[in-house]
């Protein structure tokens, strides 16, 4: 599944906004990119109430609220987002560092600079997504005990009458539930349904052969129905090239 990100570009010169946008599109990052454009720091901060932003491109020399001041305000709302400052001067480097920016780029921007920058951005986002996946947990009730399993420890879920079996690194667990509700609870970037009664971890798939899924570290295999096979193969192939 292709990750979706939102990139905000803020510059008081519309030509510069369009140039940055065209360079990003030309570089073709491995994301589905949505853009948010603003032509002042005030306009950008006003628009931040509307959505989550993954990456900010901020021009420093803007009238009234400059890029550094805008970056400080952004940090309060988006502590983990990526900030890139763009300027024609070198004397803002220390202030940019204090806002924990990823990069401080001097104008003029070139396609080569953008390629290098998007490489850094891509690496940072992939590292962040991997960390988020490792930290995610699935919570359920096993008898009278509330259990939490990390996503990274789960191989698959199997429907068994009124209960669902979890095959995990720590062993097998069972809880009462339905596959429909389970699918709504799980992150679709991490798990995929492969048959009416099975949901598997994308990261744990070792091989898809004929109509079976083979896993890393365990001997059990899980069947794939004809209905779900295409999506399973696509998910497996996407995971291979991440």
Rounded Cα distance between 215 and 66, Å, is 52
Roughly what angle, to the nearest 10 degrees, separates helices 111-135 and 14-27?
Answer: 70
pLDDT in tens, 103-149: 888 888 899 999 999 999 999 888 887 776 667 889 888 777 788 89
Residue 211 has a pLDDT of 94
Q: What is the CATH number that goes with domain 137-240?
A: 2.40.50.1020
The whole-number pLDDT of residue 133 equals 64
Give residues with Cβ within 8 angstroms of 158, minimum separation 6. Answer: 164, 165, 167, 197, 198, 222
Q: Is the pLDDT of residue 236 over 90?
A: no
Distance (Å, whole) CA 237 – CA 217: 19
8 A C-beta contact, residue 80 and residue 56? no
pLDDT of 50 over the 80 cut:
no
- Arithmetic mean of pLDDT, 49-54: 78
The residue-averaged pLDDT of 175-199 equals 93
Homologous superfamily (CATH) of 4-134 is: Response regulator (3.40.50.2300)
Please state the domain extents for the chain: 4-134, 137-240
pLDDT for 27 equals: 92
pTM above 0.85, yes or no: no
Structure confidence at residue 240 (pLDDT): 63
Res 132: pLDDT? 66
- Which tens digit of pLDDT belongs to each residue from 157-179? 999 999 999 999 989 999 999 99
pLDDT at position 28 = 87
Q: What are phi and psi of 8, to 5 degrees?
A: -100, 130
Q: What is the pLDDT of residue 125?
A: 87
**Residue 88 has what pLDDT?**
80
Specify the higher pLDDT residue, 38 or 5: 38
Q: What is the pLDDT of residue 214?
A: 95
Length of the chain: 242
| Residues 6+ away with beta carbon under 8 Å from 184 | none
Of residues 242 and 58, the one with the higher pLDDT is 58
Which range has the top average pLDDT, 15-24, 141-150, 181-190? Answer: 15-24
Same topology for domains 4-134 and 137-240, yes or no? no
- Copy the structure tokens of residue 168: 């995990």
Average pLDDT over residues 187-213: 93
Residues 38-56, mean pLDDT to the nearest whole number: 89
Are 221 and 212 within 8 A, CB to CB? yes
């Amino acid at each position: 599944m292709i990750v979706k990100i939102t990139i905000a570009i803020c510059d008081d010169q519309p030509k510069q906004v369009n140039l940055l946008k065209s360079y990003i599109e030309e570089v073709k990052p491995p994301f589905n990119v949505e853009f948010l454009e603003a032509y002042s720091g005030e306009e950008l901060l006003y628009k931040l109430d509307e959505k989550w932003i993954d990456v900010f491109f901020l021009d420093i020399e803007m009238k009234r609220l400059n890029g550094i001041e805008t970056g400080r305000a952004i940090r309060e709302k988006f502590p983990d987002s990526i900030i890139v400052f763009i300027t024609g001067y070198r004397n803002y480097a220390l202030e940019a560092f204090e806002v924990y920016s990823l990069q401080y780029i001097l104008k003029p921007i070139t396609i080569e600079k953008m390629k290098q920058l998007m490489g850094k951005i891509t690496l940072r986002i992939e590292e962040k997504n991997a960390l988020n996946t490792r930290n995610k947990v699935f919570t359920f009730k096993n008898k009278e005990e509330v259990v939490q399993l990390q996503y990274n420890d789960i191989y698959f879920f199997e429907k068994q009458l009124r209960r669902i079996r979890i095959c995990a690194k720590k062993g097998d667990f069972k809880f009462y539930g339905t596959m429909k509700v389970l699918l709504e609870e799980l992150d679709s970037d991490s798990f995929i349904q492969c048959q009416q009664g099975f949901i598997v971890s994308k990261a744990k798939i070792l091989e898809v052969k004929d109509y079976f899924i083979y896993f890393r570290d365990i001997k059990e295999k899980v069947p794939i129905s004809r209905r779900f096979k295409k999506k399973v193969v696509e998910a497996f192939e996407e995971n291979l090239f991440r």
